[in-house]
Amino acid sequence: MSKLTEKILVLDFGGQYNQLIARRVRDNNVFAEIKPYTTPIEEIKKENYKGIIFTGGPNSVYDMSSPHYDKEILELGVPVLGICYGCQLICYMKGGRVETAVTSEYGKIDVKVDKKDSLLFKNIPDSVVWMSHTDYISEPPAGFEITSHSADCPCASMENADDKLYAVQFHPEVTHTEYGNELLKNFIFNICGCTGEWKMEGFIEKTVEALRAQIGDKKVVLGLSGGVDSSVAAALLSKAVGSQLTCVFVDQGLMRKDEGDFVENTFTRLFDMKFVRVNCGDEFISRLKGFTEPEDKRKIIGTEFYKVFWNKVREEADGGFFAQGTIYPDCIESGKGDADKIKTHHNKVKMPEDIKFDGIIEPLSNLFKDEVRRVGELLGIPKELVWRQPFPGPGLGVRIIGEITKEKIRVLQEADAVFRDEIKKSGIENELSQYFAVLPDIRTVGVMGDHRTYDHLIAIRAVTTDDFMTADFARIPYDVLARVSSRIINEVDNVNRVVYDITSKPPGTVEWE
């Protein structure tokens, strides 16, 4: 990272789109990093940022508990762009006036550009933007010019070009803002003077070089789950140090049909490394015997998984380094506290103290998910893995309601494989964010030929979402649903009924447990 000369700081005031702003900047090949508004100014000064973006936030600038920042940041000579709350904050910090509007502006709003020669609005005509605010700028600070307005907002944007301070009341980072990307490009290239040096090809080259220098002739152990992040980390490390890398893959028997074999084949065939697979499905089933409560099951699966995993790592550890597929969103310290946890997730667990490594390596810790995928593609990882939909740590364990048995795992794996196959064939795969089968703990009566049946019910779930915090059930065409239903009942033994889950999140969650 130290070799990067171009960096934009996204200073987070608690807005909901902070990561999106950084991703949009990076989409334009300029590195952006997010830091909370509590970051000391001295730390910011050291970094030589080419530009700074103040994010939105849920507060009013006159509220004393609202996030504020040292005024010096506007005097560093580094261009600043304030967005929404960030726009009002610049106004407030520079002595302008912010008021609460009678009518809030929310949604798609037409704005008219007033300052045609503004660098920020270069090649941007009157157009639609995305607004979400109640407070507004009633009087820009001295030295600032209004650059655009809307019917209800006399100052939709303002600037003091001499001091390189720019502010927009709307959200250029969301796609509803017609020329949002052009505006961000104007800021990062025309105003901040960036050239666009953040490219994944360059990232791979520099990272491989840095990993080689750091690792030398030592060993590296990586926990491979078969998910996107750990897979890409494995491929990157393999490129850097080949067989000095050992990947530990714990197959707890709760993966999708044939998935364990697919992961093993992929990594042993395509990449130079030592691949250690631990098959412990039977042990997991015996540990889970008799447990039906979702949280109990999650905890047992998590605890068992890490017990098996660390035991294997302990065997493989021989000094050297421990690597993980941590990505940037796992590391961002946000401008607001963590949202309440609804379910126990077991993604981050501490290493037992008796296991000793020389250091931890997290080669993807600066990348967003879409960048990780790009790196994965460039490294030649198969599309099925790089574009794999999210899969929960506890695997099918949270999709089998009630007690988990070998027979239930078989039924669910088969049904899920049929569902996925039909979605693939129907050509709607890319429209769905996640789709899978669930095995509820009930049996229902049916009729097959002349016989009464009393068998399992399969529920299928498919959702569309941007962030998995909220989701909607996917409107899968009826004929696709019909094919899925008939194939599951015909091809999977002991299933006689299929239902489709039409619950959005909230009130439902994506997974059933």
Return the active site residues.
Answer: 84, 171, 173
Site for ligand XMP contains 506 (CB under 6 A): no
- By beta-carbon proximity to ligand XMP, the closer residue of 301 and 313 is 301
- Of 96, 376, 393, 395, which one interacts with ligand XMP (CB under 6 A)? 393
Give the span between the Cα atoms of 63 and 129, in whole angstroms.
27
Residue 368: HSE in the Cβ half-sphere, 13 Å Cα cutoff: 19
Distance of alpha carbon 72 from the chain centroid: 33
Ramachandran quadrant class, 391 (left: phi over 0; alpha: psi -120 to 50; beta: rest): beta
* Touching ligand XMP, residues 404-443 (CB under 6 A): 434
Site for ligand XMP contains 392 (CB under 6 A): yes
Helix, strand, coil percentages for the chain (3-state, nearest 5)? 35, 25, 40
Q: Where are the beta strands (DSSP E) in 175-330?
A: 220-223, 245-251, 274-279, 321-323
Site for ligand XMP contains 510 (CB under 6 A): yes
Angle between helix axes 200-215 and 369-378 (nearest 10 degrees) is 80
Site for ligand XMP contains 504 (CB under 6 A): no
Stretch that binds ligand XMP, among 179-187, 200-208, 390-398, 495-503 (CB under 6 A): 390-398
- By beta-carbon proximity to ligand XMP, the closer residue of 188 and 409 is 409
Site for ligand XMP contains 52 (CB under 6 A): no
Token pair for 30: 């300029």
Q: Minimal distance in Å, beta carbon 404 to ligand XMP?
A: 15
Q: Largest alpha-carbon pair distance within the chain?
A: 86
Residue 411's contacts (CB-CB under 8 Å, 6 or more residues apart) are 439, 456, 458, 492, 493, 494, 495
Site for ligand XMP contains 60 (CB under 6 A): no
Give the span between the Cα atoms of 23 and 32, in whole angstroms.
8
- By beta-carbon proximity to ligand XMP, the closer residue of 105 and 416 is 416
Site for ligand XMP contains 346 (CB under 6 A): yes
Give the span between the Cα atoms of 370 and 367, in whole angstroms.
8
Site for ligand XMP contains 509 (CB under 6 A): yes
Give the span between the Cα atoms of 206 and 211, in whole angstroms.
9
Tell me, by CB under 6 A, how many residues bind ligand XMP.
15
Q: Minimal distance in Å, beta carbon 347 to ligand XMP?
A: 5
- Of 97, 108, 112, 343, which one interacts with ligand XMP (CB under 6 A)? 343
Q: Minimal distance in Å, beta carbon 290 to ligand XMP?
A: 21
- By beta-carbon proximity to ligand XMP, the closer residue of 343 and 424 is 343
Q: Minimal distance in Å, beta carbon 468 to ligand XMP?
A: 4
How many distinct helices (H) and strands (E) make up the chain?
14, 19
Residue 288: in which H helix or E strand, if any? helix 281-288
Site for ligand XMP contains 68 (CB under 6 A): no
Contact positions toward ligand XMP, by CB under 6 A? 342-343, 345-347, 390, 392-394, 434, 468, 505, 509-511
